[in-house]
Amino acid sequence: MVALDLRRLRFLREFEERGTLAAVAAALGYSPSTVSQQLALLEKDVGTPLLEKAGRGVRLNDAGRLLAGHARVLLSAAEAAEADLAALGGDIRGTVRAGGLQSAARRLLVPAVARMRAERPGVRVEIFELELEQALPGLRLGTVDLVIGDEYDGHPRPRPAGMRFAVLLEEPLRVVLPAAHPLAGGGGPVAIAELRDDVWTASAEGTGHHAMVQGTCRALGGYEPDVRHRSNDADVQLELVRVGAAVALMPPLALPPGDPALAVRDLAESTLRRRLVTVTRDTPPAPALTAFHAAVQDLAARVTAAALPDR
């Protein structure tokens, strides 16, 4: 009978997901040699090679791919068992690792951490700023428990198998201009078509926000925007607008209240909306994750109920 070590199976799943020993080492905080040793010990456990040479590196062979498939099932079952045992105990304890884009981290994750500290001191919460695209491998592997991502009208995110998506809130996008911009006066809606000659700022290429800015300018304005500045930090984007170096499309959750250097206007052509979504694994959640997720959902409902004022 083969005795399988769940810890070593985790290394195998990480390798299947990430593709190189260096990437697994970086993700788990080990050296590449340690990762290689753990996989070698797993090969010894099962009595057959799991890796084969591929250029200067290695890849899974047929046996490795077969065992990695079983590892997904076994690790999920172990996670479900831990959740059931924790629920049986009644005392909610454990660690929750949660990430999200900047505005969600600031307005939802940080307040949720404060609530858990007050109401569930046995729950340890670790938060980090991360785009959903970067977080998906960790979600699949169980090194991340919850991520808040965003999606925009006309740019829905794919729904990968094994993931559970839940909408937290919706909010309309706003045109953000420097206060001295020729279109800033009057307070009325601004047409995307009128911003053809402006420089734009957006999040990094490959993100939903960047794709939304490009798609909106193409669809509503009929032009390719000059997205000259790219940052996932909303404050950096806003500072570029303040100094007159760019215009932007941003949701209210990312905007400061009453900034005299900014002119925030509705879109003239259409109402575009952003949705914030939580993404978790489609497996039975541990009680600590259930409690934290509930706190995030309650905070999002409060934001929605407050109906963030138009600026």
Report in angstroms the alpha-carbon separations of 113 from 109, 138, 199, 295, 299: 6, 20, 37, 9, 11
Angle among Cα 243, 232, 159 to the nearest 5 degrees reads 145
Provide the β-strand partners of residue 147.
Answer: 99, 279
**Looking up tokens 């999920």, which residue turns up?**
76
Separation between Cα atoms, residue 311 and residue 296, nearest integer Å: 25
List all residues 6 or more positions away from 67 whose beta carbon is below 8 Å from its beta carbon. Answer: 9, 12, 42, 46, 50
- Contact between 266 and 190 (Cβ < 8 Å): yes
Specify the 3-state DSSP secondary structure of 249: strand
To the nearest whole number, what is the mean pLDDT of the chain?
88
* Predicted pLDDT of residue 70: 87
Q: Inform me whether the pLDDT recorded for 302 exceeds 80.
A: yes
Higher pLDDT, 76 or 243: 243
Confidence band for 299, pLDDT divided at 50, 70 and 90? very high
* Predicted pLDDT of residue 89: 62
Structure-token pair, residue 277: 């979504």
Tell me the pLDDT tens digit for each residue of 216-226: 999 999 999 99
Q: Specify the range with the lowest mean pLDDT, choosing from 14-18, 44-48, 171-175.
A: 14-18
Tell me the pLDDT tens digit for each residue of 25-39: 877 778 888 888 889
* Predicted pLDDT of residue 77: 77
Separation between Cα atoms, residue 263 and residue 254, nearest integer Å: 14
Percent of the chain whose predicted confidence (pLDDT) is above 90: 49
Separation between Cα atoms, residue 68 and residue 11, nearest integer Å: 10
Provide the β-strand partners of residue 123.
Answer: 94
Separation between Cα atoms, residue 25 and residue 260, nearest integer Å: 47
If you ran DSSP here, which 8-state letter would residue 260 be given? T
Separation between Cα atoms, residue 272 and residue 209, nearest integer Å: 12
Catalogue the long-range contacts made by 24-30 (C-beta closer than 8 Å, 24 or more residues apart). Answer: 27/137, 27/138, 27/141, 27/143, 28/143
Q: Inform me whether the pLDDT recorded for 311 exceeds 50.
A: no
Angle among Cα 44, 49, 55 to the nearest 5 degrees reads 130
* Predicted pLDDT of residue 310: 47
* Predicted pLDDT of residue 87: 64
Tell me the pLDDT tens digit for each residue of 79-117: 777 766 766 666 788 889 999 988 899 999 999 999 999
* Predicted pLDDT of residue 1: 63
Tell me the pLDDT tens digit for each residue of 115-132: 999 999 989 999 988 777
Alpha-carbon torsion (263, 266, 269, 275), positive or negative: positive
Q: Inform me whether the pLDDT recorded for 307 exceeds 60.
A: no
Q: What is the Cα gyration radius of the chain? A: 23
* Predicted pLDDT of residue 98: 95
* Predicted pLDDT of residue 308: 46
